[in-house]
Amino acid sequence: MKVAAGIDIGGTNTVFGLINESGAILAKESVKTKYFCTPDTFVDTMAKKVKELVDTNEDWELAGIGIGAPNGNYFSGTIEYAPNLDWNGVVPLVEKFEAFFDLPIILTNDANAAAIGEMLFGVAKGEKDFIMVTLGTGLGSGFVSGGNLIYGHDGFAGELGHTIVEINGRKCGCGRRGCLETYASATGLVRTAKKWLPEDPYSILNRYNKEEISSQIIGEAAQEGDELSLRIFDFTAEKLALGLANAVAITSPKLIILYGGMSNSKDLLLTPLKKHFENTLQNIFQNKISIKFSSLKEGEAAVIGAGALVWKIGLKN
Amino acid sequence: MKVAAGIDIGGTNTVFGLINESGAILAKESVKTKYFCTPDTFVDTMAKKVKELVDTNEDWELAGIGIGAPNGNYFSGTIEYAPNLDWNGVVPLVEKFEAFFDLPIILTNDANAAAIGEMLFGVAKGEKDFIMVTLGTGLGSGFVSGGNLIYGHDGFAGELGHTIVEINGRKCGCGRRGCLETYASATGLVRTAKKWLPEDPYSILNRYNKEEISSQIIGEAAQEGDELSLRIFDFTAEKLALGLANAVAITSPKLIILYGGMSNSKDLLLTPLKKHFENTLQNIFQNKISIKFSSLKEGEAAVIGAGALVWKIGLKN
């Protein structure tokens, strides 16, 4: 039976596994990314571990390796200046893996991999036009149009988190101001809380040191009915709605999928988001677009997405 | 020799013609769109006229008809609630043409048709990722990604003019506020002039009645060195730059093409646009993207674009 390896490289952990053509995970392991000081030691180890995993069942035959990584570039096969990884500069990751495997090796960024995973095996099954939004420390995105990922001419398309939603707004890690991810991300949520908390002595959030406040704590406070925390979610949703409405005007998707740590806030985010989204959309797009959470299990989605890259390539040939 | 008919339906005139596979116009005519009170009389006449045009040379064989029209929908083949046309509601234009021709009839909006025209015969030849921006009364756009137009799930993609660039900004015809086209269009230029003129008694524009001021007059004043008019162009360019930078973050194009009445302002617009654009772009996109004017002749580009729809379909088969 043909199996695809999916490798999800994160700043802390790298999770990898084997999936079948139905998207089921057959085997899964993980290593600490930070343990590997150079990409060479990382690839050496991963190549060995993937081969070992495939060899655990003599019925399995490896069809290819899909890799999702921050700043992973589909066209060049390189990881370029990823701020959360310790490997500097431009890392030719696909080339390094090709030294070990005479098989298709496909790299893209984590949000794009997640989008492919959703299209083949998740809530976007059968959808040809949708947007995948990963809400974590930052805001990542993958755009699918007519059944294909929008990679752009250089593989850098899909930077919804770096569309500007507020002129002269919050300072962003990218060096500019007002980017969507400075508002709509776990980090953005906390920034809003820290800004607004001094004006609200009655908020539950005052129980915590300013440094302790996380998106999870804000979520818990909101669940308890804390007014400030609810307002923080509403504000975050309003900004996200604007960014999404602008993206809709460009690609007109049928579906928007939310994924990642912050999407655990569920209705705290989704209810105000749907309201602001419909209010912000141009009338020709109103009441046409669903916003859903990913249906893939959190620990598995990234590996399934990475592995799905291999099956997606297969579909094209 | 196979020829394609291109029909460009505008609010005032409908221009139609025949193009060969190299994009050369072989014959061209026009009619007043407003003369036809119903789409049926329009289609009857156009079908007859296209047939007559093809019959003028016995060597010509019609391969199909491409139509560019405001609010033309590629998927449904309908023109939907076009504000500049007298035909109400949803007009099944392709169906009506099919009653006269057993050939491919392809409809899309004017900006998408222009994008296809540029890709096959204009400055986007060989480009697979670019944005076509038509600057006229409003701001239209067509997005090409990986060599294909982004139509979206419903054919309504490519509404760059209705991305919001200013929260609570200028009132837009779409019912919302702050849309890009309220700033970056001939109408937007005039709105800026009318707003700023009362504060500048020294501007050349004071020679005119407020009602007379057009984008052309502002352009002429700027050419003469009128400071206010130059500032108006700079402000317009700044807004356009923001809208474009946000679009770049989503589709990462190699090229942006400007077309339409307002692009006649040439360097008055292009010089400040390039400056603001580079200043607004995220660093990963800087110094990578060209902004060019369309190379197709103004009176011909729309017909070539519409006709090119036929050849583009041919390429897919």
pLDDT tens digits for B146-174? 999 999 999 999 999 999 999 999 999 99
A51 or A296, higher pLDDT: A51
Structure tokens at A252: 């007109």
Q: Are B110 and B140 in contact, with CB atoms under 8 Å apart?
A: yes
Query: Residue B133 above 80 pLDDT?
Result: yes
Distances (CA, A) of A163 to A182, B50, B242: 10, 45, 9
Q: What's the confidence (pLDDT) of residue A82?
A: 82
- Residue of chain A minimizing CA distance to B141: A250
How large is the average pLDDT for residues A11-36?
A: 94
| pLDDT above 90 coverage of chain B, percent | 86
- Residue found under tokens 């001419």: A153
Out of B159, B245, B251, whose CB is closest to A150? B251
- A contact residues 119-148, partner B, Cβ 8 Å cutoff: 127-129, 143, 145-146, 148
Q: Which residues of A touch B246 (CB under 8 A)?
A: 163-164, 246
Tell whether A288 is within 8 A of chain B (Cβ).
Answer: yes
Out of A166, A176, A252, whose CB is closest to B167? A166
For A245, phi then psi, to 5°, come to -60, -40
Query: Residue B214 above 70 pLDDT?
Result: yes
Query: Residue A88 above 90 pLDDT?
Result: no
Distances (CA, A) of B25 to A67, B28, B105, B121, B302: 49, 7, 19, 11, 11
* CA-derived radius of gyration, chain A: 20
Q: Are A108 and A119 in contact, with CB atoms under 8 Å apart?
A: no
Q: Which residues of A touch B168 (CB under 8 A)?
A: none
Query: Residue B316 above 80 pLDDT?
Result: no
Measured in angstroms, the CA of A295 and the nearest CA of chain B are apart by 21
Tell whether B174 is within 8 A of chain A (Cβ).
Answer: yes
Contact A247 B242 (CB under 8 A): no
Measured in angstroms, the CA of B113 and the nearest CA of chain A are apart by 16
- Residue found under tokens 């020829």: B3
How large is the average pLDDT for residues B16-35?
A: 95
Q: Return d(Cα A72, Cα A88) in angstroms, integer.
A: 13
Q: What's the confidence (pLDDT) of residue B155?
A: 94
A134-192 confidence digits (pLDDT tens) = 998 899 999 999 999 999 999 999 999 999 999 999 999 999 999 999 999 999 999 99
State the count of interchain CB pairs (< 8 A) between A and B. 132
- pLDDT category at A303 given cuts 50, 70, 90 is very high
Q: Which residues of A touch B146 (CB under 8 A)?
A: 148, 150-151
SS (HEC) of chain A = CEEEEEEEECCCEEEEEEECCCCCEEEEEEEEHHHCCCHHHHHHHHHHHHHHHHHCCCCCEEEEEEEECCCECCCCCCEECCCCCCCCCEECHHHHHHCCCCCCEEEECHHHHHHHHHHHHCCCCCCCCEEEEEECCCEEEEEEECCEECCCCCCCCCCHHHCECCCCCCECCCCCECEHHHCCCHHHHHHHHHHHHHHCCCCHHHHCCHHHCCHHHHHHHHHCCCHHHHHHHHHHHHHHHHHHHHHHHHHCCCEEEEECHHHHHCHHHHHHHHHHHHHHCCHHHCCCCEEEECCCCHHHHHHHHHHHHHHHHHHHC
Tell whether A159 is within 8 A of chain B (Cβ).
Answer: yes
Query: Residue B317 above 70 pLDDT?
Result: no
**How many CB atoms sit inside 10 A of residue B61's CB?**
10
SS (HEC) of B247-302 = HHHHHCCCEEEEECHHHHHCHHHHHHHHHHHHHHCCHHHCCCCEEEECCCCHHHHH
How large is the average pLDDT for residues A60-72?
A: 95
For A103, phi then psi, to 5°, come to -140, 165
- Residue of chain A minimizing CA distance to B165: A165
Stretch among A40-49, A77-86, B113-122, B286-295 having the lowest mean pLDDT: A77-86
Q: What's the confidence (pLDDT) of residue B313?
A: 76
Q: What's the confidence (pLDDT) of residue A278?
A: 98
Q: Which residues of A touch B180 (CB under 8 A)?
A: none
How many angstroms from the chain centroid is the CA of residue B16? 16
Query: Residue A105 above 60 pLDDT?
Result: yes
Q: Which residues of A166-201 are buried (b: 16+ CB within 10 A; e: fewer)?
A: beebbebebebebbbbbbbbbbbbbbbbeebbeebe
Structure tokens at A154: 């250089």
Q: Are A233 and A186 in contact, with CB atoms under 8 Å apart?
A: no
Contact B151 A252 (CB under 8 A): yes
Contact A250 B280 (CB under 8 A): no
Contact B249 A280 (CB under 8 A): no
Beta strands, E only, B25-129: 25-32, 61-68, 79-80, 90-91, 105-108
Out of B150, B163, B174, whose CB is closest to A145? B150
How much is the pTM? 0.94
Measured in angstroms, the CA of A290 and the nearest CA of chain B are apart by 12
How large is the average pLDDT for residues B164-187?
A: 96
Q: What's the confidence (pLDDT) of residue A317?
A: 37
- pLDDT category at A86 given cuts 50, 70, 90 is confident
Beta strands, E only, chain B: 2-9, 13-19, 25-32, 61-68, 79-80, 90-91, 105-108, 130-135, 139-145, 148-149, 255-259, 290-293
Distance in Å from the first CA to the final CA of chain A? 19
DSSP-assigned letter for residue B78: -
- pLDDT category at A301 given cuts 50, 70, 90 is confident
Query: Could you give the count of Cα atoms lying within 13 Å of B205 in the half-sphere of its Cβ?
Result: 33
Tell whether A279 is within 8 A of chain B (Cβ).
Answer: no
Q: What's the confidence (pLDDT) of residue B125?
A: 95
A121-142 confidence digits (pLDDT tens) = 999 999 999 999 999 889 999 9
Strands B25-32 and B13-19 turn out to be: antiparallel
**How many CB atoms sit inside 10 A of residue A294's CB?**
22
What value does the mean pLDDT of chain B take?
94
Q: Return d(Cα B256, Cα B306) in angstroms, integer.
A: 20
Q: What's the confidence (pLDDT) of residue B314?
A: 61
